[in-house]
Amino acid sequence: MIDFFTTLKLRNETLFYFGFFCLALAAVFLLLSKLTSTQVYNISAWYKPFKFALSTALYAFAMAWFCHYLNAFNITMFNWAVIILLGFEIAYIAFQANKGELSHFNVSTPTYSILYSLMAFAASAVSIYTAYIGFLFFTQDFPELPGYYVWSIRLGIVLFVIFSFEGFVMGSKLTHTIGGPDGGEGLPILNWSTKFGDPRVAHFIGMHALQVLPLLSYYLLKNNKATFLLAFLYAALAIFTLVQALEGKPLFGAKLNQLKSPQKPIDKSK
């Protein structure tokens, strides 16, 4: 692990430090979730900025690593685009959390509508930039890298971009719960609904293909066919969870609700 971070710093010092800054923010937000009572939708308001800061750190580290392989790529422009755009997103989410108010889907005032739109623009711009990097991975040659590893990066970026834009499924509805209201029972910290459909599950799974596919392909599979099969199964899982959410069905809720529901006593008089 130490070797990884040492190499990462040599490859892209800017995103290396930004990633660790986001990790530090994530730790602060998690601590605030334990020390404060501010809530949004009946859970700590600080869980959302914690999740976004942690996810941003993982994205920064992954892209810092991958972009090192590209030829004729303006890495400085990309670095600052990531820092400014995703930094703004984290800052606004944390600002709203501190007030105990929604950041996403909050169009209650003209100001909040504008800020929410800017946040959506920031996420979209980063996704488009990532798609461009994916295009470069498809058009450039990497003779020094194993083919299965290159394909895992390509396919990981493809899934990341697709399921990043899947966020518009929620944005168009101004809700992350299908079949019921936001703020119901959910999994700890993640808060994925255990009673209704929740597109955030597919959003999470698909976007983290960026890290999962290259790691498993490089360290475990070491094979082109196995890498393609993994990508297919991973995409199928993400699509399945999205379809299930759109049908208003929770991913884990059915079994969890059965466990929570008290069984009716047997009437022995019959």
Mean pLDDT taken over the chain: 93
Q: What are 149-174's pLDDT values in tens digits?
A: 999 999 999 999 999 999 999 999 99
> In terms of DSSP H, where are the helices of 140-223?
147-165, 167-173, 200-207, 209-216
Residue 100 has pLDDT above 80, yes or no: yes
Identity of the amino acid at 91: A
Residue with the bigger pLDDT between 259 and 72: it is: 72
Rounded mean pLDDT of 34-52?
96
Q: From the CB of residue 258, how many other CB atoms can be counted at a distance below 10 Å? A: 9
Q: What are 210-244's pLDDT values in tens digits?
A: 999 999 999 999 999 999 999 999 999 999 999 99
DSSP at 29: H
What is the distance between the alpha carbons of residues 187 and 6, in angstroms, rounded to a whole number?
A: 35
For Cα atoms 201, 206, 209, give the angle at the middle one, nearest 5 degrees.
130
What is the distance between the alpha carbons of residues 237 and 90, in angstroms, rounded to a whole number?
A: 28
Q: Could you tell me how far CA 161 lies from the centroid of its own chain? A: 11
CA atoms within 13 A on the CB side of 106: 17
Q: What are 101-122's pLDDT values in tens digits?
A: 999 999 999 999 999 999 999 9
| 268 confidence band (pLDDT: 50, 70, 90) | very low
